[in-house]
Amino acid sequence: MPRLLVCTRDGLVRLDGTGSSWVIVTLLEGKAVRCVAAGRGRLLVGTRDGALLSTDDGSSWRRVSLPETDVYSVAIGAADGTLYAGTEPSRLFRSADGERWDELEALQSIPSRDQWSYPPRPWTSHVRWISPDPHRSERLLVGIELGGLMYSDDGGETFTDHRQGAERDVHALAWHPRVEGRSYEAAGGGATWSRDGGLTWEAAESGREHRYCWALAVDPDEPDRWYVSAAHGPRQAHGAGAARAGVYRWEGAGPWERIERGLPRPLDSMPYALVSTTAGLFAGLADGGIFSSADHGDSWEELPVRAESVIAMAPAEPA
């Protein structure tokens, strides 16, 4: 039975179901949740007011003690269960048990650090995405909005600066859960991927009408099949008007193919979240609509449940 975690403007919900039978289980209320990670019986969420951790499937929560409260990204390493949290300003924290948190201070020593700048608030930046390698616990990708894609092969004790070929306006990162060395990026300037463990990156641009990529998902069985949502720019993606967005699939050597049969047309509500699991492909829209596909995006059906909004999504039981 598929289970999805959905971050909304009013909290965190879990969707449980299959086919036409779906239910919403409320896990957090009254607090906008930006990001969520699940793994090894734990849930970790990030909000403007800090991070929260649950060890009982969301029945109860406790606040994580961090020196920064504006949490933009969280992750739980599939290889070793390490917890991560990234903040604005751009700082990165790590914990083995959820009790003691240590800063990965090497992030502050990256040569480009003084040039990081988030356009709506140019005096700052934030850790937009944290992606621990599920195959090697010591390997870590960190995306700065806006600053670049940083790489560590020693668990964050040291970092290299922005990786060659990657985009600097990082929005989402992923590793393939079963094929070692494959990694993926969705960014403001496009999409890139790596076949050598995140060391070098190549653009995946052909066939995509929209340049500004946001959400990202990777097929768990096929490393050459991945998905992005995209808009023509940040104003369309995040503004009050029509998004006029697209959802795309890349297979093999490309090019990108629009996969929107069954989705609203035009796609005026931005697809803020994509999740691909063995149970299917899922898309969450800014207006709260959630859609599923059982054929890799060839066709979509709207789920018979609706969230208050969708900010982000993650599988409740990662591969």
Decide: residue 20, CB within 10 A, 0-12 exposed, 13-18 middle, 19+ buried.
Answer: exposed
- pLDDT at 20 exceeding the cut of 80: no
In the chain, pLDDT over 70 holds for what percent of residues? 98
CB 77 within 8 A of CB 137: yes
Q: Specify the pLDDT at position 19.
A: 63
Interval 148-173: pLDDT, tens = 999 999 999 999 999 999 999 999 99
Query: What is the spatial distance between Cα 62 and Cα 35, in angstroms, rounded to a whole number?
Result: 16
Interval 66-107: pLDDT, tens = 999 999 999 999 999 999 999 999 999 999 998 899 999 999
Query: What is the spatial distance between Cα 211 and Cα 314, in angstroms, rounded to a whole number?
Result: 24
Q: Tell me the average pLDDT across 7-31.
A: 89
Interval 98-152: pLDDT, tens = 889 999 999 999 999 999 999 999 999 999 999 999 999 999 999 999 999 999 9
- pLDDT at 1 exceeding the cut of 90: no
Q: Specify the pLDDT at position 172.
A: 98
Please give the mean pLDDT across all residues of the chain.
95
What is the domain range of residue 229? 3-315
Number of domain units in the chain: 1
Using pLDDT thresholds of 50, 70 and 90, give the confidence band for residue 254: confident
3-state secondary structure of 309: coil
Q: Specify the pLDDT at position 21.
A: 86
- pLDDT at 35 exceeding the cut of 80: yes
- pLDDT at 204 exceeding the cut of 90: yes
- pLDDT at 245 exceeding the cut of 90: yes
Radius of gyration of the chain from its Cα atoms, rounded to whole angstroms: 18
Query: What is the spatial distance between Cα 35 and Cα 206, in angstroms, rounded to a whole number?
Result: 30
User: For residues 233 and 240, which has the higher predicted lDDT (pLDDT)?
Assistant: 233
In angstroms, the Cα distances linking 17 to 43, 50, 166, 255 are 19, 30, 37, 33
**Residues in the chain, total:** 319
Backbone angles phi, psi at 156, to 5 degrees: 95, 5
Query: What is the spatial distance between Cα 286 and Cα 231, in angstroms, rounded to a whole number?
Result: 13
Query: What is the spatial distance between Cα 84 and Cα 95, in angstroms, rounded to a whole number?
Result: 6
Interval 261-319: pLDDT, tens = 999 999 999 999 999 999 999 999 999 999 999 999 999 999 999 888 999 999 997 65
Q: How many CB atoms lie within 10 A of CB 310?
A: 26
**Closest to 265 measured CA to CA, from 234, 227, 291:** 291
Backbone angles phi, psi at 113, to 5 degrees: -50, -40
Amino acid at 295: D
User: Residue 319 has what DSSP assignment?
Assistant: -
Q: CATH no. for residue 193?
A: 2.130.10.10
